[in-house]
A and B are shown apart, each in its own frame.
Chain A
C-alpha cells in the first residue's frame, strides 16, 4: 500500500512560491491500477516524482509498504557517456540484483545487440527509449509508476512492452498518469482527476472520464 496523507508541494520560483497542490490524499492498494487524469501543467509529473520518492513533499506524509518503481521508461535517468551495459550494471548494483542473468534479456528486448557496449549517446532516440524500458523491466516492483504511456518504438515493440507490463506484471499495482483518456480507460479500474491543485476522489473509470471530458471542454 502507498498512503499519501495531506501532502502539499511548492517550489521556489523567481516570482515567489508556486504551489503545485495542496492537501492531497490518496491510497493505492496492492494490485490496484489507478489512473491520474490531468491537463498539461496540472502537476501530474510532480505527483509521480513524489510517489516515487525522488522528491519530498513540502508538507504531509507518504508511506510505502510496497516497493515502487522509478518513473517507467524514463531515459533521462541514465548516463549518456556510459554504455547500455554500464547503465544496466549501475541499476543492478543500486537495486541489489545480480546483473549477469539480465544482460541477455535487456540486449534482446531492447534490440541493441552489440550496441550494448557502445555509449548511450551514440544511440538513436528509439534505441535509447527501448533501453530505458528494458532496464525498467529488470527490477521487479510491487507498484509501477507510468508517466504518459510508453509510446516507444514501433508497433511491434509497443505490443511487447504491453505484454511485459500489463500481461506478465498484470498483478502489480500501477499508477498511470496521462492527459490521454483512452490510455487510462484501457488499463485502470479507477481514476482520479488532478485539477487546480486538487485531486478528486478516485472514481470508477467511466465516471472519471466523463468528468474529465467536461473539464476539458470548459
Chain B
C-alpha cells in the first residue's frame, strides 16, 4: 500500500487536508501529554479554568460591595473568562515550539501547526468552561438568560480572533528570543486592569473612556456584556477597530512564523 506524502504535487486543497490532519493529530497529542489519561484526565481541560473562575467569584463575593448595578456573578465571570482567553492562548503559544521540535522531523508538521494546535486547544477549553460556568450560574439563578445571544457570541468570537492573532505574533517572537516570555509575563499582569475585564466603560469618566477604547480587548468585553445584560448596559464597542488590530498583528505575525520555519533546527 502506498501513501503519497509528496509535497510537490499537492494542490492547495490537498495541503489544507494535510494541515487539518496534522493539527488534529497535534491537538489530541497535546491533550494527552498535558492531562494524561489517569483520574480526571482531559476533564482538567475544562475544570482548570472553571476552578479559577469559581475561586475568583468567591473572593469577589467575600470582599465586594453588596449593592451593585449589575449582577455580580455574570459580571465577574464574563470579566475573568475573557482574561483567561487572551492570557492562556498567548501564554501557551510561547512554549509551543521547543518541546515539540522533534516532531518537525515529520515534514508535514510545520511550525505554524504547533502554534495552531495550541491556540485551538486553548480557545476550545476556555470557551467550553465559560459556557458551562455561565449555564451553571443561570441554573442557580445567579445570571440572566443572555439578552442578545448573538451579540454575546460575537463579542466572544472577536476576542478569540484577537487572541489567536496576537498569539501568532507573540509565539514566533518568543521562539526567536527567550526574553519575550519574561516580558510577556510582566506585561500580562500590568495589562490586566486595562483589559476591560473589571470595569464598565460607560461608568468611567469621559477622559478615561476614550483612553480605554484604545485597548482592543475592551471592545470585545463590552460587546460580550451588552449581549448578556442587554441594551441597558450601554456597551462601547467597534468591531471594525478590533478586526483592524487583528489584521495589523496577523500580517507581521505570519511573516515571523515563516521566518521561524526557515530558522528552526531539528534535534
User: A residues bordering B, Cβ < 8 Å?
Assistant: 11, 49, 52-56, 63-68, 70-71, 74, 76-79, 81-82, 86, 89-91, 93-97, 139-142
Interface of A is mostly: loop
Kindly identify, within residues 10 to 28 of chain B, every residue whose CB is under 8 Å from any CB belonging to chain A.
17-18, 21-22, 24-25, 28
Q: List 16 A-B contacts (CB under 8 A).
A: A54-B104, A55-B266, A67-B4, A70-B105, A76-B105, A77-B102, A77-B103, A79-B29, A81-B36, A86-B29, A89-B28, A94-B106, A97-B3, A139-B3, A139-B5, A142-B2
- 8 closest Cβ pairs, A-B complex: A93-B25, A53-B107, A67-B5, A77-B105, A70-B105, A54-B266, A54-B105, A76-B102
Find A140's partner among B2, B9, B17, B36 (CB 8 Å cutoff): B2
Minimum CB–CB distance from B55 to chain A (whole Å) comes to 28
On chain A, the residues within 8 Å of B103 by CB distance are 77
Q: How large is the interface on B (under 10, 10 to 19, 20 to 34, 35 or more residues)?
A: 20 to 34
With A and B bound together, what is the CA distance between A96 and B5 in angstroms?
A: 9
With A and B bound together, what is the CA distance between A96 and B104 in angstroms?
A: 16
Find B109's partner among A11, A94, A96 (CB 8 Å cutoff): A94
Of chain A, the residue at the smallest CB distance from B34 is A81
Contact B3 A140 (CB under 8 A): yes
Contact A94 B22 (CB under 8 A): yes
Of chain A, the residue at the smallest CB distance from B9 is A65
With A and B bound together, what is the CA distance between A73 and B234 in angstroms?
A: 62
Contact B105 A81 (CB under 8 A): no
On chain B, the residues within 8 Å of A139 by CB distance are 3, 5
Interface string of B87-113 (1 = CB under 8 A from A): 000000000000000111111110000
Query: A52-B107, A81-B32 provided; 12 other pairs, C-beta below 8 A?
Result: A65-B8, A70-B107, A71-B105, A76-B105, A77-B103, A77-B106, A93-B22, A94-B106, A97-B3, A139-B5, A140-B2, A140-B3
How many pairs of residues, A versus B, come closer than 8 Å at their CB atoms? 88
On chain A, the residues within 8 Å of B3 by CB distance are 67, 95-97, 139-140
With A and B bound together, what is the CA distance between A81 and B37 in angstroms?
A: 11
User: B residues bordering A, Cβ < 8 Å?
Assistant: 1-9, 17-18, 21-22, 24-25, 28-29, 32-33, 36, 102-109, 261-262, 264-267
On chain A, the residues within 8 Å of B267 by CB distance are 76
Minimum CB–CB distance from B131 to chain A (whole Å) comes to 27
On chain A, the residues within 8 Å of B262 by CB distance are 56
On chain A, the residues within 8 Å of B4 by CB distance are 67
Of chain A, the residue at the smallest CB distance from B21 is A96
On chain B, the residues within 8 Å of A90 by CB distance are 25, 28-29
On chain A, the residues within 8 Å of B102 by CB distance are 76-79
On chain B, the residues within 8 Å of A140 by CB distance are 1-3
